[in-house]
Structure 1
Amino acid sequence: MTEDGSGAQQRPGVVPAEVGRTAAVQRLLDLDGRDELTSTHVRLVAKALGRSERTVWRWLSAARVEGRHGRITAARFTVTPEVRTLLALWGGNASRVHAELVERARLNPDSGPAPSLATLHRAIRRDLTAGERAGLRQGEAARRVYDVFATRPPTHRNAVWEGDHKRVPVEVDVEGELACPWVTWFIDCATRVVVGVAVTPHAPSRDAVLASLRCAIDRREPYGPAGGLPGAIRVDRGKEFLCRTVTAAMGGFAVAVVDLPPYTPHLKGTVEALNGAAEEMHFVLLPRYLHRQKLTGGKSADPDAPALAFEAFVAGLLGWVNWWNGQHRPAGLDGRTPLEAWMADATPLAEAPPEQLAHFSLEGDGRERSITSHGIRWHRRDYIAEWMVGRTGTRVSIRHLPHHDDVIEVFAGGTHLGSAYLAEAATAEQVRALRAARTASARRLRADLKAAERLRRERFKAQTVAGRAERSRTPARGEAAGELEGGARRDRRQLARPGLIPHGPAPEHWVQLVDPKQQDGRRDED
């Protein structure tokens, strides 16, 4: 048995009386107006609504006399805007609101008596939803817990990415100081694979966003195999620099950036779920985790726990990302890992050419500089590279990753020449490569000069009799071929000797041709 709003008991499967009373009474009145109403009709309505036939006849009588299809609603106290304001003022404390209403009724008797505390509690439970009560008590975040959200329809890989920053609640050792690092990552919404991640020991800026985007787009080693160009990226507009940086970087690839309203985590639920999973599965196990249970007085159970070095923290986080992509099996992927789901998707991929990635995520000042014997001068420091050997005086422009001045990229007329490294921080391998490039350049020049000397050296023909020395030179291939062909023609002409065998007399039966002039002379003689 259940109880409806009127307090009456109802049998399971029976339509509530207050829900069907209006429609049933209206139907009975129609039948009565056509003189077709019978006790059978009343009995059917009573059985369907779980009421007695007498009650249904009483409803019908009230409708005929009073024109009322429902029951009489007693006047009751309701939550007014004034009461809502008082609830917000006192943080949802109904007792304090009741005391305020009593005091106002005492000061202004004409406004009527104040409701009892029980009546106020019933009105709050009846007129306010659970979300409204939580919001008036604790704010917007508490209200959202009771909201209902729709699920986006499934898509294909690289259809949409979501990006976000997360402050890691773990203190790590950064050059002798404790700091909470930040992680910037992008995740594919369809397959849940983390395509790009970057970690900074401080609040992230453009360099973290661009570094994470670059490793997300580039599918070559050591990144990939997941990646490529997405159809769109969803980011939080509340983090303005994240939105601006992603929009500027992806505009060149015609990738749309959806700037979500600030403080709307439900609109990018995939990356928010990743943030929560990382904290529950990885960060909670690390030393000096800030959200761990506290002792009396809010003290940590182990305040002297040694902090992880920043390098160890980054290695552990990247290892967890690899586990998430390759071994974890989130719900909604049919028992597959994110990487298996990504590889099983046959959607064609759009990739950025390597030459475009050379410009991606880099900034420049628009100035041209010359390569000198000390390399390239930038910010009062010299940058060197092995490919600069032999290029002194070349006018170049430089581009660099924001907040990273140890490596710069050098371009000449839009062509990427290569990377240059800070001279004072160059490694032993980079110095050896520079020396090897100088040695190789000198060796090539020495070989070219020796070859030229061999061509320039004078030679003379060998002579068997006394005479003046004659210069000899090596004939070219075309000249040698022409000489051989000319000699062959001369040999054939020498072999053709028509005077070697004299002609004999012509036979008598041959017809001999006579010169016309000789024939005219013979006629004159005759």
Structure 2
Amino acid sequence: MAKIADEVRRAAVSRLGELRADGVLTAGHVRTVAQSTGVSERTVWRWLSPQAARPVRQPRPHYILSESDREAFAFYRGNIAAVHRARHAVVAGDGTTAGAPVPGFLAEGWARSRPVTLRTLQRAFAEELTPAERAAWQSGESGRRAASVYLQRPDALRGRCWEMDHKQIPLLVLPPKGKATSPWMTTVVDDGTRALLGWAVALTPTSGTVFTAMRMAMLHEPDRSPFGAVPERVRIDRGLEFAADAVEAALGTLAVVMHRLLAFQPHRKGKVERLNLTIGQMLISQLVGFTGGPRDASGKLYGPVKDSVAAKRAAEGQAGGPMRIERFVDRFAAWARWYNTERPHRMLGGRTPLQAWTDDPAPLRRIPADELRHLMLADVERTIRKDGISFNSLSYLAPELQGRGGQVVQIRYMPHDDRQIEVYLAGKHLCTAYPAGQLTPEQTDAFRAHAAAEAKRLGQERRRASHRARRTLAPMTGDGAPAQESRLVDQKTGRGASRQALDAALRARSSTSLLGITPLTTTDKKES
């Protein structure tokens, strides 16, 4: 600011001097300059005095940091006082500071340096090092990032670009079975409108959680959400590396480009990172079981649920303990609707994400729900049992499962959604199965009707096969028997004999023919 003030003063004095030389300088000119430069009129008149025109003595040049000074700043982790003590010890010929010898590379660099004061060093470091450089050695990478400046991407059109993130929530919840734990959440944010398009919660990080969030973001359901479209590109970081290949394969089917960002660079997907911070501040921190709250002097969480193992177990059976994961999912769904439809966003000009989505006229690429359900679902193998397909402590049934007990099938499902599963056999969609205890009367009747029809069809097939076997059975009647007599056919009518006649003929002939003895014919008897 001092250099800028000198330049402003020099320009003002030069102009006023020109006006004085022309004989037109007035008090009004001085008053205008004084108001513009933020000084008094008396100060401006003093600038115009002959004494002010004398050359001003130039200040002593500032101390310039040497390479050894910078290396010492890094060695002593940004402690300028420690740098000054070590430098002073080397210049004084001692070579020892704070009871320890100064490193050799610093002593060699400072060997012929002149002494400087602590204040001089502090001023030099403040002027020559940026805040990011100082913070990098004082507090590490987090401090450097806090002082850094990043480029900002222009907002994309609605539905064209996603940002995805996957993180563990600092909240204790109760799973269906087991002790309290912190779940994982996957969120999908629209780059252009900041809308929370999709999300999913699970106890462990799986690709199914990611697919659920992506499916919600793509699916367009006017009665539930006005959002939903297939994007052109998706940004994910290394936190989703465990599902990157599966996600890339599913997105590639829809011609969506996936950008895998570098590790430890959250600013490259700043919109979803900021939304996660908002979720933690506005929702997670207000729930029972929040583990990121204030702590006492010993580091223990104040509560209402302490983060010790004993406290977690004790809270599981209390009314004020952690909520069940199903209840948390409902709470988050209500919060997501409020965020998308009611909360004004500063970066959107005070509009809500829904308003920004509606105001954007960009065309959207939709995909039917029946096509999408086969792409964005988690999959696992199961064996069909007598009670159906067992999954997540439920038995799923469908009419198409009749007669397939023991077969291994592949099922696809949505986490925390037990309403239905999709069943695949040999890569082809077999049916949609529903929980046995939640079947509607129509589904129950359809299942029983299909079972009866299947039993009737198999019975007919068995009878038809038996009938063909009896008609084509050729008993051993000897080599000389005519071909037309070796068949169990009624010679008079040319039709098949009755079942009783066929059975009697078989019994009569089998007693000897099975022993290799051929019955005597009438001609044989006469010859004998």
Superposed, 1:405-424 pairs within 5 Å as: 409-411=422-424, 416-420=429-433
Q: Is the contact between residue 193 and residue 339 of structure 1 (CA under 8 Å) also seen in structure 2?
A: yes
Greater CA drift, 250-259 or 138-147? 138-147
- Deviations 1:440-480, CA, capped at 9 Å, x for gaps: 6648999xxxxxxxxxxxxxxxxxxxxxxxxxxxxxxxxxx
Residue 242 of structure 1, CA deviation: 4.3
> Matches of 2:360 and 2:350 in 1, distance apart?
15
Residue 359 of structure 1, CA deviation: 2.3
* Residue 398 (structure 1) aligned with residue 398 (structure 2): no
* Residue 83 (structure 1) aligned with residue 98 (structure 2): no
* Residue 94 (structure 1) aligned with residue 100 (structure 2): no
Q: Is the contact between residue 384 and residue 409 of structure 2 (CA under 8 Å) also seen in structure 1?
A: no
SS of the residue corresponding to residue 439 of structure 2 reads helix
> Matches of 1:100 and 1:410 in 2, distance apart?
73
Q: What is the identity, as a one-letter code, of the residue corresponding to 1:352?
A: I
2:134 aligned residue:
133
1:67 aligned residue:
none
Q: What is the identity, as a one-letter code, of the residue corresponding to 2:64?
A: T
SS of the residue corresponding to residue 166 of structure 2 reads strand
Q: Is the alpha carbon distance of 1:121 and 1:154 closer, same or farther for their aligned partners in structure 2, counting shifts above 3 Å?
A: same
Residue 115 of structure 1, CA deviation: 2.8
Superposed, 1:134-153 pairs within 5 Å as: 134-153=135-154
Q: Is the alpha carbon distance of 1:262 and 1:316 closer, same or farther for their aligned partners in structure 2, counting shifts above 3 Å?
A: same
> Matches of 1:51 and 1:396 in 2, distance apart?
98
* Residue 235 (structure 1) aligned with residue 247 (structure 2): no
Greater CA drift, 188-197 or 91-100? 91-100
SS of the residue corresponding to residue 229 of structure 1 reads coil
Residue 328 of structure 1, CA deviation: 0.8
Q: Is the alpha carbon distance of 1:360 and 1:433 closer, same or farther for their aligned partners in structure 2, counting shifts above 3 Å?
A: same
- Deviations 1:131-170, CA, capped at 9 Å, x for gaps: 2112221012111222223332233111111000132222
Residue 186 of structure 1, CA deviation: 0.2
- Deviations 1:353-412, CA, capped at 9 Å, x for gaps: 3443232135779x9x9x989488899x99763331666599996343599998753346
1:314 aligned residue:
329
> Matches of 1:291 and 1:215 in 2, distance apart?
28
Q: Is the contact between residue 384 and residue 408 of structure 2 (CA under 8 Å) also seen in structure 1?
A: no
Q: Is the alpha carbon distance of 1:123 and 1:255 closer, same or farther for their aligned partners in structure 2, counting shifts above 3 Å?
A: same
* Residue 4 (structure 1) aligned with residue 16 (structure 2): no
SS of the residue corresponding to residue 164 of structure 1 reads strand
Greater CA drift, 82-91 or 429-438? 429-438
Q: Is the alpha carbon distance of 1:308 and 1:412 closer, same or farther for their aligned partners in structure 2, counting shifts above 3 Å?
A: closer
Q: Is the alpha carbon distance of 1:222 and 1:259 closer, same or farther for their aligned partners in structure 2, counting shifts above 3 Å?
A: farther
1:427 aligned residue:
437
Segments of 5+ residues of structure 2 without an aligned counterpart are: 15-20, 22-32, 38-46, 96-106, 306-319, 457-528
RMSD: 4.6
Which of the pair has the greater relative contact order for Cα pairs under 8 Å at 6+ separation?
2
> Matches of 1:290 and 1:264 in 2, distance apart?
25
Q: Is the contact between residue 389 and residue 437 of structure 1 (CA under 8 Å) also seen in structure 2?
A: no
> Matches of 1:294 and 1:363 in 2, distance apart?
39
Q: Is the contact between residue 236 and residue 243 of structure 1 (CA under 8 Å) also seen in structure 2?
A: no
1:119 aligned residue:
120
Residue 420 of structure 1, CA deviation: 3.7
2:189 aligned residue:
187
1:439 aligned residue:
449
> Matches of 1:373 and 1:272 in 2, distance apart?
45
Superposed, 1:97-108 pairs within 5 Å as: 97-105=83-91, 106=93, 107=95
Superposed, 1:500-515 pairs within 5 Å as: none
> Matches of 1:248 and 1:364 in 2, distance apart?
14
> Matches of 1:402 and 1:188 in 2, distance apart?
22
> Matches of 1:154 and 1:405 in 2, distance apart?
33
Q: Is the alpha carbon distance of 1:177 and 1:80 closer, same or farther for their aligned partners in structure 2, counting shifts above 3 Å?
A: farther
Residue 74 of structure 1, CA deviation: 5.6
Q: What is the identity, as a one-letter code, of the residue corresponding to 2:437?
A: T
Report how many aligned residue pairs link the two structures.
403
2:297 aligned residue:
296
SS of the residue corresponding to residue 343 of structure 1 reads helix
Superposed, 1:103-502 pairs within 5 Å as: 103-105=89-91, 106=93, 107=95, 110-174=111-175, 175=177, 177-202=179-204, 204-220=205-221, 224-237=225-238, 239-302=240-303, 304=305, 306-362=321-377, 374=386, 385-388=397-400, 398-401=410-413, 409-411=422-424, 416-420=429-433, 426-427=436-437, 429=439, 433-434=443-444, 436-439=446-449, 442=452
SS of the residue corresponding to residue 156 of structure 1 reads coil
> Matches of 1:10 and 1:72 in 2, distance apart?
13
Q: Is the contact between residue 191 and residue 342 of structure 1 (CA under 8 Å) also seen in structure 2?
A: yes
Q: Is the alpha carbon distance of 1:210 and 1:363 closer, same or farther for their aligned partners in structure 2, counting shifts above 3 Å?
A: closer
> Matches of 1:110 and 1:394 in 2, distance apart?
85
Q: Is the alpha carbon distance of 1:157 and 1:94 closer, same or farther for their aligned partners in structure 2, counting shifts above 3 Å?
A: same
Residue 176 of structure 1, CA deviation: 5.2
Segments of 5+ residues of structure 1 without an aligned counterpart are: 22-39, 41-46, 60-70, 447-526
Q: Is the alpha carbon distance of 1:90 and 1:241 closer, same or farther for their aligned partners in structure 2, counting shifts above 3 Å?
A: same
| Rg comparison, structure with higher value | 1
Q: Is the contact between residue 200 and residue 212 of structure 2 (CA under 8 Å) also seen in structure 1?
A: yes
1:498 aligned residue:
none
Q: Is the alpha carbon distance of 1:358 and 1:278 closer, same or farther for their aligned partners in structure 2, counting shifts above 3 Å?
A: closer
